[in-house]
Structure 1
Amino acid sequence: MWVKIINALHGQEGGLNNQGCSFNGTWSRIIGTLNFLHSKGIIPLNSFCFKWQWNWSRSNIGTRNTAYLNDLLLGISQIDISVDEDTCTWVLSNDVTFSVISARRLIDSKLLPSIPTSTVWDKFLPRKVNIFLWRLSLDRLPHRLNLSSRGLDIPTISCSSCNGNVETADHVFFEYDLVKEIWCLVRK
């Protein structure tokens, strides 16, 4: 019954409206009511006092915190606020406007591996050997460490032949003892 009486006297919103606000909630209704009262000439907006009060914490905040607060206030006081309209610039392109390609280039430069030299294909080698050597130079061969780093569940990343070193491309093709002997024979 009381709800019906209050609604009849003050309306569904309890006398507060959100006219002039684009957000929902108590504060938007309060501001909407202030704007409504101002638009009807009932209360001028300059009669309200909007200010910060610095009583956020106890009065004795300590020497270190006082120094931090003073540094903060000094930093804020040195900010030059212009009356120009705010703009957003993208410094990664020459014309300072955002483009998807400039964002893509930034992401690629951070995430994709860079190849220091261009790939030279030897026309006297079979294509599969050229591709194998290219994948070896990029560390894209399926050895245990690469498989593990790509999420494949393997019991160990140790070399199955020597059980000591981590199985990497360098280990398999250059550091393993048997491979060193083979390379010595190839060089002769």
Structure 2
Amino acid sequence: MVTDLDVPFTSSIQRVIGDSSNTLFWKDVWIEKLDKKFDRLYRLESNKGAKVMDRVAWINGKCVKTWQWTRDIFGRAEGLDSWKWELSSNGLFTTKKLQKFIEENVLTDGRGQTKTLRNSLVPRKVEIFIWRVLLKRIPVLIELDKCGIDLHSVRCPICVDDVETIDHSLVLCKKAFDIWCRVYKWWELGNFSNISIFETFAGSTNTSTSGIGRKIW
């Protein structure tokens, strides 16, 4: 007996397609039982007794498939590959939704308050620049040198007095320092005496300069 040899008799027989006129597309095992594997599509089939030749044909060397559904196919039943973003209720990705997700789940403290402060009067490019400065992501010469980039010099190309660091290029360089002094005078903030850009943006312990970060950020 075949069963005594542990050979599954039913799966050892498979339909061989000739002219495809005598094989049921859905119910016969010619690839596999398609009505079981694709049961949702099978329920939409208008002719459940369709032969293989009714659904698949070779025309000019190309495989042409013909379907007859009881209604228009939509959603997953179409069988089209697509991407779905699991962090969105409708599965669609947008940068606005990603920004909201980051703000709600990453940039908030334990009380649900955002850790970032924005000023609608400040252009977005300026905000991004300040954000990069605070993260020390500005490609000043000293940082490029640390990355192994071969440079002729790492001195400030404006004043040549010191190494070009973030603090030097944005605060300590004579040109930058002069601009900050003029800004403080214009805004009536007293004398500018900060020695780092981080101190300037965050607000110094010096009472005459505290609050500048809040004003521009």
Shorter-chain TM range is: 0.3 to 0.5
* Structure number with higher relative contact order (C-alpha < 8 Å, ≥ 6 residues apart): 2
Greater helix percent: which structure? 1
Q: TM-score, normalised by structure 2?
A: 0.31
